[in-house]
Chains A and B, each alone.
Chain A
């Protein structure tokens, strides 16, 4: 299943048309190119969309890079959710942001999908000291 999902991602990237083999009902908020163009306009470098279990559905970067990001960020996101629920069982995580000296990673944990946006800091990059 995971392999077919990755192949589906590759096929989606290979063809220019947004053809998704899985019959996933998607809202228009992240439908295809308009969503990617909107984020790219605001400085996002990579956008990955996972389902609620952490299987990557769509991505704007290569398959290898997607796999590296997802295999590292999925445990982090689920660990953060467990941390929040350990402190207060009625609370739940909605958004997570990891900022480093070069870039920023935004993760949205929803009920239907997980959205990961990787950004680059252009101004602070040259003046970073650490």
Chain B
């Protein structure tokens, strides 16, 4: 999510129209995957069966992460405390979902919680090219390239969209997280969930890096999260299994 203040509520209508026109030009047509069915939520805490994206126990249901989101890339000190909890995971369909809680949000009296759904770039269900949400292929490359772990993949992605990549043994998982609704506040809370996050997850240590993308928000808001564990002396895991 991001501050609505930076959106076009203070923008001149004429400029807004021009801006919209500009974005239309940048939205070049992108080949969409044939099987872009709505994600199935046949989610299980224990993922059985072969999948393109090998499972990573640190990215399972129940796992929690905390860190910060830098709202402005200019002023370092403007950062929100952010907590994330994974609630569902379906690797077969490249689907992930959870909640994101922002704690010290200005204009909000209480922490703001949103529900988000994630697309896992496994080159089967989803590729590195977004093809929607006003993100052009150039936007995609620019944002993915901000992750150091993307560098070895850049050439192949530019060549064929990364279709020939085998990411199943790569120790990073790339995702797009799209917030779906506010859990505990109304839509008039002064915040926007119009954009989405480019996410890079490290399978080694469970850390998450992300960049928020919304044409109408401050660019390159950075998300940095680490795996948390409730004061434990080690790692612990819960699970559920829907029937």
User: Do A and B interact with each other, yes or no?
Assistant: no
